[in-house]
Chain A
Amino acid sequence: MTDTTAAAVSGSPPARWTDYVVLLKPRVMSLVVFTALTGLVCARASMSPALGAVAVLCIAVGAGAAGALNMWYDRDIDGLMRRTRARPIPTGKVQSADALGLGVVLSLLSVMMMGIAANWLAAGLLAFTILFYAIIYTAWLKRSTPQNIVIGGASGALPPVIGWAAAAGHAPINAWLLFMIIFLWTPPHSWALALYTTGDYAKAGVPMMPVAKGGASTRRQIMLYSLVFVPFAVAPAFTGLGGALYLAVSGVGGAVFLLLAFRLWRSGSGEADGATSGLYEVKVGSKDARNLFAFSILYLTLLFAALLAEHVFGLAPLAAGPRAFW
């Protein structure tokens, strides 16, 4: 470790093991574990519970490794944004080389272990996810295009496919339907947040949609993505994947999602110029953006929780016939 001397010299507090845990983005990891576990259970494959647990652990560690690589690369701009300036590298607690080393080592270990514990399709998908997030999204798209989180969202959408592949050895259309749900959910979710943290992204030179195209264009695109997203969110009820519970949750939640997206579209979010003092303090007119952001997290959680509950408790899907095809 090289951070102790650096910390002593700079006056920063010494790195604790918890600082390295923070590098792994535990909150993102928890969502990844949840969606990956859902994919693994929905596969309905005969897999040893021990190997299933190891597979989910591999996905969690791989996601954490991608998070560490992201923090290593973004160390120059993380210190400029309120949302990220308390991270271990900007605060001087962890040296950037240590974060890079941690990310690389955990990436290799998680992919190799996945290959041994499950299969090499799942391992390959995990490796692709890590590389996509660290290189395609973080190093390339994030600072170069307003479409950064649209394309980059693929990495966050892959965990249920990896979980499915780990259990079944293949990834059918239903697995990719779970991918599409998260993929299409990401733009409304991320842009709703960006609408009321625009100043931060502008300061760091990150061309998030509200920074590059303005509030009105962003709100219109959120509405359009929501119109495409909600049918995909309901679709598993008709492909043999989800049952009555899932249909109820996705239908009612989808209606609320569309209502909040519509309200946001008609609001002035992202256009108010007032300064804010707190990190998540809402600018005038941006309440609708915060509402959609908060509900989007709840909705995605409920969708996957409903699927998980139905498969764990053996509730029959509505359309059992075409299951083999899907």
Chain B
Amino acid sequence: MSDPSNETPDAAKARSRRNLAIAGALVVFVILTFIVTIVRMGGHAFDHGF
């Protein structure tokens, strides 16, 4: 792992943007999983009794 205290401002900015990109990708993945789940369940989600 890198030591942020030794980073140049450019490197810190690049790292910050990479972290945001990873966070964005994770959010997209969660949303996709949610959408796929809902569509796959379709109208059958509430067919079964509790």
Binding site for B on A (CB under 8 A): 1-5, 7-8, 13-17, 20, 48, 50-51, 54, 57, 109, 113, 116-117
Binding site for A on B (CB under 8 A): 1-3, 6-8, 10-11, 14-15, 17-18, 20-21, 29, 32-33, 35-37, 39-40
Give the most central of A4, A51, A54: most B CB within 10 Å: A4
Say yes or no: A5-B3 contact (C-beta < 8 A), given A15-B18, A17-B21, A116-B36: yes
B35 touches A1 (CB 8 A): no
Cα distance A148–B2 when bound, in Å? Answer: 39
A117 touches B36 (CB 8 A): yes
If over half of A's interface residues share one DSSP class (helix, strand or loop), that class is named, otherwise mixed; here it is helix
Cβ of A48: which chain B residues have Cβ within 8 Å of it? Answer: 39
B18 touches A7 (CB 8 A): no
Cα distance A267–B21 when bound, in Å? Answer: 49
Other-chain contact of A8, B7, B33, B37 (Cβ < 8 Å)? B7
Cβ of B3: which chain A residues have Cβ within 8 Å of it? Answer: 5
Cβ of A117: which chain B residues have Cβ within 8 Å of it? Answer: 36, 40
Residue of B at shortest CB range from A55?
B36
Residue of B at shortest CB range from A4?
B2
B2 touches A1 (CB 8 A): yes
A16 touches B17 (CB 8 A): yes
Interchain nearest-CB distance for A288 vs B (Å): 43
Cβ of A4: which chain B residues have Cβ within 8 Å of it? Answer: 2, 7, 11, 14-15
Other-chain contact of B15, A14, A51, A57, A109 (Cβ < 8 Å)? A14
A7 touches B40 (CB 8 A): no
Cβ of A50: which chain B residues have Cβ within 8 Å of it? Answer: 35-36, 39
The 7 closest A-B pairs by CB, nearest first: A17-B21, A14-B14, A4-B2, A14-B11, A5-B2, A117-B36, A4-B11
A116 touches B40 (CB 8 A): yes
| 23 cross-chain CB contacts under 8 A | A1-B15, A2-B2, A7-B11, A8-B7, A14-B11, A15-B18, A16-B18, A17-B17, A17-B21, A20-B21, A48-B39, A50-B35, A50-B39, A51-B36, A51-B39, A54-B35, A109-B29, A113-B32, A113-B33, A113-B36, A116-B33, A116-B37, A116-B40
Give the most central of B1, B36, B37: most A CB within 10 Å: B36
Interchain nearest-CB distance for A237 vs B (Å): 35
Residue of B at shortest CB range from A112?
B33
Interchain nearest-CB distance for B14 vs A (Å): 4
Interchain nearest-CB distance for B25 vs A (Å): 9
